[in-house]
Amino acid sequence: MEVHRFEKLWLGLALLLIVAFIGTVTYGAVGAGVQMIDDSGGTVEADALDEHPQFSQPGTYKTGENSYDVYVIARQFLFQPGSSEPIRVPAGSTVTFHVTSGDVVHGFEVASTNVNAMAIPGQIAKMTVEFEEPGSYGVVCHEYCGAAHHTMEGQLRVLPQNEFTANMTEG
C-alpha cells in the first residue's frame, strides 16, 4: 500500500498541530505563573456576612509591610467594594483578595491581570497578586448571575503610595 505524498503532508501537519497544542497547554499550566485557586480561603456563612469580622466591613486592610488583604463581596449586581466605590490598593504592594458571594454564583475578574475566580456563596476564593505600577483596572463578573448581569462591573485603582496613605488617613 502506498501513501500519497499529500496524505503524508496532512498527516505530518496534523501531528505538528497536536504537539503544538500540547506545548501551549503545558506552557499555560506551568510556565505562565497561572495557578488554580484551592480551598485555602476557607468558608463563611453566606447569609451571615454582616457578622464576619472582615466581610462585615469589606475593603482593604494592611497586613504587613507592603502587604494588603482586600475583602470583596459579590452580590446581584455589584461588587462591594468595587462598584459604587473603587477598590483601592497601593502600587508596589502584594495584595491578597478574599472574595465571596452573598447570594448566587458570580465571577470576579480584574481585567488585564491574572486575578480571575468564581465567587461562590459560602466559599472564600483567595488569590494573591502584585501591583507594581499605578493604574486603573476594570472588575467584571464573568458568570451569568441574573437579568442585570451585564451591568455588574467595578473598578480597582492602584494608587501611588503617597496618595494611598493620604486616602487611608482620610477614611
- At 44, the amino acid letter reads V
State the DSSP code for 41. G
pLDDT, residue 30, reads 77
Tell me the per-residue pLDDT of 102-128, one tens digit each, with 9 for 90 and over.
999 999 999 988 899 999 999 999 999
Q: What are residue 16's phi and psi, to 5 degrees?
A: -60, -40
Residue pair 32/57 in contact (Cβ under 8 Å)? The answer is no
Question: Are residues 6 and 69 located together in one domain of the fold?
Answer: no
- Considering the domain boundaries, does residue 168 fall inside one? no
Tell me the per-residue pLDDT of 44-101, one tens digit each, with 9 for 90 and over.
888 889 999 899 999 999 998 889 999 999 999 999 999 999 999 999 999 999 999 9
For residue 37, the cross-strand partners are: none
- At 145, the amino acid letter reads C
Apex CA 115: angle with CA 128 and CA 161, to 5°?
A: 60
- Find the domain containing 21 and state its range: 1-34
**pTM of the predicted model as reported, rounded to 2 decimal places:** 0.78
- Considering the domain boundaries, does residue 171 fall inside one? no
Where does residue 75 rank: exposed (0-12), middle (13-18), buried (19+ CB within 10 A)? Answer: middle
Question: Are residues 30 and 43 located together in one domain of the fold?
Answer: no
Question: Are residues 20 and 100 located together in one domain of the fold?
Answer: no
Question: Are residues 30 and 44 located together in one domain of the fold?
Answer: no
